[in-house]
């Protein structure tokens, strides 16, 4: 019985709810409240059509011009069109309903009247055609304002004015003034793009457009990026949020509203960000983190960094480096960077009290003193376990933020790790076993290397070759320092071809070796020529005419041959024997040029310059492309970087970075073509010493340098009569 009663009660409740819902569905829609927002025109003669705009207009509403009723010509919920009655007088315009009277404004009976204008919206500089009556006047010209701001009148007749929208206009009524009388028409919608953020990005970047005159409905705004339509996600009259299209290209952004296009600034496509180094990879709250890489935004708020999903505000930003302060409590997780919605994953971060911020130096040999800075170290040296690629090092001293250690005897390139109790912290990058080693020669060794040594090159097997203009030879040096005459007969000058043993050479100025181990020799005995030595030992003349000087040889990645001509520029030399003049001005014969993957050539155009010039692949020439006439040793952008005079040579590494032999700074510098930044790879001292970079010494008279396939660098150290090897791993 109880079950039956419960069932009946439930049934009755459901039926009642259903009836209530049915009643709601049959209820008439809620009427909008009666309101008048504007009307136009506010003057004219009898018979002028006047439009009222607003909401909730009733079907039986009357419009009164003073005490006279106007004829209603058109009516809907949001507008009414009426005709100004005959015999009306200037006065109040009112809307009268059965229970309400609303004062709309004042209507003036006069000849001057703004009936309509076209277009009704648009940007500054656009011409508007204003139609009406009473515009002509011989006493004073007609004036036009848009929301009170004067517009330039282009032309006037009694019934038509053409006016130009002023720069500082805003949305509001369009008014014509003639001889002290005024008439206002409809509201003009002033369209403008005031700011776009961001101005860089890629497909899928969310872009905020601030301005005026937009439609409040997203569909009413057409946005394009250089002609490519974009999706409008959000819209108000002053703000749009849009999604950059998949096929976006660099170019101007524009917004079109009601057929009127508003031009905006250019949106620039940039590559996705690249994270190179994050430091520290672990640490406590309050420690500063830095992220180094490429394609960051210089606007801090356009770089969104998350650690394990927690957003961490960016404190400072450049195109290649971001800094932020660890908030603590993020937990362990991945570092992720989004630059204008273009994301890249970084390394794993540990939220703990132990962290490594910096390692100085970051390269060295066995016995190198290394300072590790960070947080959470034990002040008891023995409680900090430091390893280099798994091999324990000696901790000399310790504070909470700094450790001084000596690298182990069996040092190899690899991870640097600090352990304290159960915690473990990794350095942001591998510690590189790197330094300087003399492969051949040295002061007092009787080395053949002298002032006459002119060029150095390395083959695919790691053999080193040194040319000499003094005795017409090219000598081969093995990795264990064994030297032999590779080509030419010592002190026998000539132009004889044949085998390496019987061939003769003149004043050799430089050598270069391609990927197939063909050697090219810039030679001059009676006339300048380029000789070729094949891997099987045959010598021939590669080009015997068309040269004015046997200058510095350099090759591109494809093995094509180029040569400097001192006061007559540079040539490209083809296998057919033809030459192509690339540059007509002076090129230094001290600095071996380099050519990047895109075909841009970098060189020094005077022996004493402290900057590098560039000949672009497309033909443009920049004299002081990298560095300036102000000498020094400064890393940074190509405009702010500083070098000493007489740069010794250039080469491109496997990553298309340019290496620079900054000989009077005893340094090897690197120019990253992607980031536009100059950094120091190695800084030595003056003299002669092998060892880690902080111990090594070179003479200032170093000639061009070469690189083997492992990335080690070889320098012809002339004043020390030596070939020096700079190894980075």
DSSP per residue over 100-148, as a string?
-EEEEEEEEESS-EEEEEE-SEE-TT-EEEEEEE----SSS--EEEETT
- Calculate the CA 599 to chain-centre distance: 22
Count of CB atoms situated within 10 Å of the CB of 430: 17
pLDDT recorded at residue 29: 55
Q: To 5 degrees, how large is the angle CA 116–CA 122–CA 128?
A: 40
Asked if the 355-433 domain carries CATH number 2.40.50.100, the reply is: no
Q: Do domains 192-269 and 435-727 have the same CATH topology?
A: no
Per-position DSSP letters for 205-217, written without gaps between them: -EEEEEEES--SS
What distance in Å separates the CA atoms of residue 336 and residue 293, rounded to the nearest whole number? 13
Instruction: Judge whether 643 and 669 are in contact, CB under 8 Å.
Output: yes
Nearest to 503 by CA among 513, 489, 521: 489
Q: How many residues does the chain have?
A: 729
Is the peptide bond preceding residue 280 cis, with omega within 30 degrees of 0? yes
pLDDT recorded at residue 703: 81
pLDDT recorded at residue 23: 45
What distance in Å separates the CA atoms of residue 151 and residue 175, rounded to the nearest whole number? 10
- Report the CATH fold assignment for 113-190: Immunoglobulin-like (2.60.40)
pLDDT recorded at residue 3: 45
DSSP 558: T
Strands 432-433 and 363-364, by their bridges, are parallel
Give the three-class secondary structure for 645. coil
What distance in Å separates the CA atoms of residue 556 and residue 641, rounded to the nearest whole number? 25
pTM of the model: 0.76
Phi, psi of 382 (to 5 degrees): -70, -20
Cα dihedral across residues 274, 279, 282, 283: positive or negative: negative
Identify the architecture of domain 435-727 in CATH: 6 Propeller (2.120)
Structure tokens at 652: 């491109």
Structure tokens at 177: 């003034």
Edge-to-edge strand list for the sheet holding 282-283: 282-283, 342-351, 333-339, 303-307, 310-312
pLDDT digits (tens, 9 = 90+) for 109-131: 999 999 999 999 999 999 999 99
pLDDT recorded at residue 618: 84
Phi, psi of 590 (to 5 degrees): -85, -40
Instruction: Judge whether 171 and 187 are in contact, CB under 8 Å.
Output: yes
pLDDT < 50 positions in the chain:
1-17, 19-25
- Calculate the CA 549 to chain-centre distance: 42
Identify the architecture of domain 192-269 in CATH: Sandwich (2.60)
What distance in Å separates the CA atoms of residue 154 and residue 405, rounded to the nearest whole number? 81
What CATH class has 35-109?
mainly beta
Cα dihedral across residues 206, 207, 211, 215: positive or negative: negative
Residues 6+ apart with CB under 8 A from 238: 210, 211, 212, 214
Domain boundaries, the chain: 35-109, 113-190, 192-269, 274-351, 355-433, 435-727
Give the three-class secondary structure for 183. strand
What distance in Å separates the CA atoms of residue 80 and residue 49, rounded to the nearest whole number? 10
pLDDT recorded at residue 97: 92
What distance in Å separates the CA atoms of residue 659 and residue 459, rounded to the nearest whole number? 19
Asked if the 274-351 domain carries CATH number 2.20.25.650, the reply is: no
pLDDT digits (tens, 9 = 90+) for 676-707: 999 999 999 999 999 999 899 999 898 889 99
Q: Which residue has the tokens 């536009």?
A: 676
Instruction: Judge whether 127 and 162 are in contact, CB under 8 Å.
Output: yes
Q: Which residue has the tokens 């990335």?
A: 711
């Amino acid at each position: 019985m109880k079950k039956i009663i419960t069932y009946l009660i439930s049934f009755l409740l459901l039926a009642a709810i259903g009836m209530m819902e049915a009643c709601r569905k049959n209820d008439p829609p809620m009427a909008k409240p009666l309101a008048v927002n504007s009307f136009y025109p506010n003057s004219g003669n009898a018979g002028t059509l006047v439009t009222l705009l607003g909401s909730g207009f009733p079907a039986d509403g009357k419009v009164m011009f003073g005490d006279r009723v106007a004829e209603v010509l058109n009516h809907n919920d949001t507008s009414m069109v009426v005709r100004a009655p005959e015999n009306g007088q200037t006065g109040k315009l009112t809307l009268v309903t059965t229970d309400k009277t609303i004062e709309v404004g004042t209507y003036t009976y006069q000849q001057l009247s703004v009936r309509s204008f076209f277009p009704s919206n648009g940007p500054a500089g656009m011409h508007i055609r204003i139609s009406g009556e009473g515009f002509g006047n011989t006493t004073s010209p007609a004036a036009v304002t848009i929301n009170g701001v004067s517009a330039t009148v282009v032309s006037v007749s009694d019934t038509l004015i053409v006016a130009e929208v002023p720069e500082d206009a805003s949305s509001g009524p369009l008014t014509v003034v003639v001889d002290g009388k005024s008439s206002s028409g409809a509201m003009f919608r002033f369209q403008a793009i005031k700011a776009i953020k961001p101005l860089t990005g890629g497909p899928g970047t969310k872009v905020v457009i601030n301005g005026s005159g937009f439609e409040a409905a997203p569909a009413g705004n057409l946005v394009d990026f250089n002609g490519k339509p974009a999706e409008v996600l959000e819209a108000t009259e002053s703000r749009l949020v849009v999604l950059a299209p998949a096929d976006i290209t660099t170019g101007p952004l524009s917004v079109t509203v009601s057929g009127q296009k508003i031009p905006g600034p250019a949106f620039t496509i940039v590559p996705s960000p690249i994270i190179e180094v994050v430091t520290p990879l672990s640490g406590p709250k309050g420690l500063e983190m830095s992220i180094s890489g490429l394609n960051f935004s210089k606007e801090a708020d356009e770089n969104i960094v998350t650690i394990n999903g927690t957003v961490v505000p960016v404190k400072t930003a450049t195109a290649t480096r971001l800094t932020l302060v660890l908030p603590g409590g993020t937990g362990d997780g991945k570092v992720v960077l989004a630059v204008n919605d273009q994301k890249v994953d970084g390394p794993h971060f540990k939220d703990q009290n132990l962290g490594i911020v910096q390692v100085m130096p970051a390269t060295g040999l066995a016995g190198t003193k290394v300072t590790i800075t960070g947080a959470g170290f034990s002040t008891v040296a023995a409680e900090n376990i430091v390893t280099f690629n798994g091999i324990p090092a000696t901790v000399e001293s310790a504070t909470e933020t700094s450790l001084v250690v000596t690298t182990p005897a069996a040092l190899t390139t690899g991870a640097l790790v600090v352990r304290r109790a159960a915690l473990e912290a990794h350095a942001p990058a591998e510690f590189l076993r790197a330094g300087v080693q003399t492969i051949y020669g040295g002061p007092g060794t009787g080395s053949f290397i002298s002032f006459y040594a002119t060029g150095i090159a390395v083959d695919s097997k790691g053999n080193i070759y040194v040319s000499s203009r003094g005795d017409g030879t090219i000598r081969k040096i093995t990795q264990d320092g064994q030297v032999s005459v590779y080509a030419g007969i010592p002190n026998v000058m000539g132009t004889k071809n044949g085998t390496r043993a019987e061939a003769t050479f003149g004043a050799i100025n430089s050598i270069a070796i391609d990927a197939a181990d063909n050697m090219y020799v810039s030679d001059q005995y009676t006339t300048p020529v380029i000789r070729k030595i094949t891997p099987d030992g045959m010598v021939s003349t590669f080009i015997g005419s068309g040269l004015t000087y046997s200058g510095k040889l350099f090759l591109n990645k494809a093995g094509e041959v180029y040569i400097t001509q001192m006061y007559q520029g540079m040539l490209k030399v083809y296998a057919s024997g033809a030459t192509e003049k690339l540059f007509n001005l002076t090129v230094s014969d001290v600095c071996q040029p380099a050519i990047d993957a895109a075909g841009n050539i970098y060189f020094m155009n005077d022996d004493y310059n402290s900057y590098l010039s560039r000949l672009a692949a497309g033909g443009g020439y920049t004299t002081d492309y990298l560095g300036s006439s102000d000498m020094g040793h400064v890393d940074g952008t190509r405009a702010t970087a500083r070098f000493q005079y007489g740069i010794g040579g250039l080469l491109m590494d496997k990553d298309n970075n340019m290496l620079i032999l900054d000989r009077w700074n005893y340094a090897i510098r690197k120019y990253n073509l992607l980031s536009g930044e100059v950094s120091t790879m190695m800084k030595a001292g003056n003299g002669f010493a092998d060892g880690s970079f902080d111990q090594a010494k070179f003479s200032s008279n170093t000639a061009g340098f070469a690189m083997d396939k492992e990335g080690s660098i070889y320098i012809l150290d002339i004043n020390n009569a030596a070939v020096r090897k700079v190894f980075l791993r």
